[in-house]
Amino acid sequence: MTIKVLLADDQALVRAGFTSLLARAEGIEVVGEAGTGDEAVRTARALRPDVVLMDIRMPVMDGLAATRTIVADPDLPDCRVIVLTTFETDEYVFAALRAGASGFLTKETEPDDLRQAVRSVAAGDALLSPSVTRRVIEQFAHRPEPAAAGRDGAARLAVLTAREREVTRLIATGLSNDEIAAQLFISPLTAKTHVTRAIAKLDVRDRAQLVILAYETGLVRPGG
């Protein structure tokens, strides 16, 4: 099936560049563009894309608000958002995760990486590299104790098996499925199955949201 992509960026040249790169990929089609956050929301509702490439700094409504609106829309349950950012200078990584973004790309992303990112997110995976996970950890390290920790956190996590809980903990430390498999002496497919089940049981959208929940419930603590 063709993956439908919506590009949201206030710079026409950036949109043209991403459109050109994605046009060369088999099975990916850019179905629309938006120059503001509110336009991105309207266009997403009209075209129902599988993936939205969302810039953060846009007029009228910024990318964070647009991401939050799209993710919360019950009519767009399968729409995933990839935030366009620059890790070195962008202070919005944590906020974008909380808004519901499934991952991040820089505007200097290599063409093959861009295409693979779109395919991965459309398939339900998250673009959450160890470097991004570390930034999430750093954010939590400067926050007070998680509000949901303690008994509330334990109750939320009670639906998980011991193995699913361990896999969730390892995800939150920044490990990939292959690295988790190696550490637990299981196959990568089994590791992925545990991840999928944990996501379903905890009712979160993807791996990125699983990391947030691991810290909010106290399953993992910064520096622990």
Q: Do 72 and 176 belong together in one domain? A: no
Instruction: Give the integer Cα–Cα distance in Å for 211 and 170.
Output: 9
Sheet holding 103-105, edge to edge: 28-34, 3-8, 51-55, 80-84, 103-105
Instruction: Please say whether the beta carbons of 198 and 136 come within 8 A.
Output: no
Phi, psi of 55 (to 5 degrees): -75, 150
Q: Do 48 and 95 belong together in one domain? A: yes
Least confident of 47-61, 79-93, 149-163: 79-93
CB atoms within 10 A of CB 21: 18
For residues 144 and 182, the model is more confident at: 182
The reply to whether 33 falls in a domain is yes
The reply to whether 27 falls in a domain is yes
The reply to whether 223 falls in a domain is no
Provide the domain limits for residue 21. Answer: 3-126
Q: Do 68 and 168 belong together in one domain? A: no
The reply to whether 161 falls in a domain is yes
Q: Do 44 and 95 belong together in one domain? A: yes
Of 75, 103, 126, the one marking the end of a domain is 126
Tens digit of each residue's pLDDT (9 = 90 or more) over 66-111? 999 999 999 998 899 998 876 555 567 777 777 888 888 877 888 8
The reply to whether 132 falls in a domain is no
- Look at the chain and report how many structural domains it folds into: 2
Q: What is the pTM of this model?
A: 0.76
Query: What is the percent of the chain with per-residue pLDDT over 90, rounded to a whole number?
Result: 46
Residue with tokens 């820089």: 106
User: Tokens at residue 134, please?
Assistant: 């570390």
Q: Do 111 and 81 belong together in one domain? A: yes
Q: Do 118 and 180 belong together in one domain? A: no
The reply to whether 222 falls in a domain is no
CATH number of domain containing 98: 3.40.50.2300
Q: Do 122 and 182 belong together in one domain? A: no
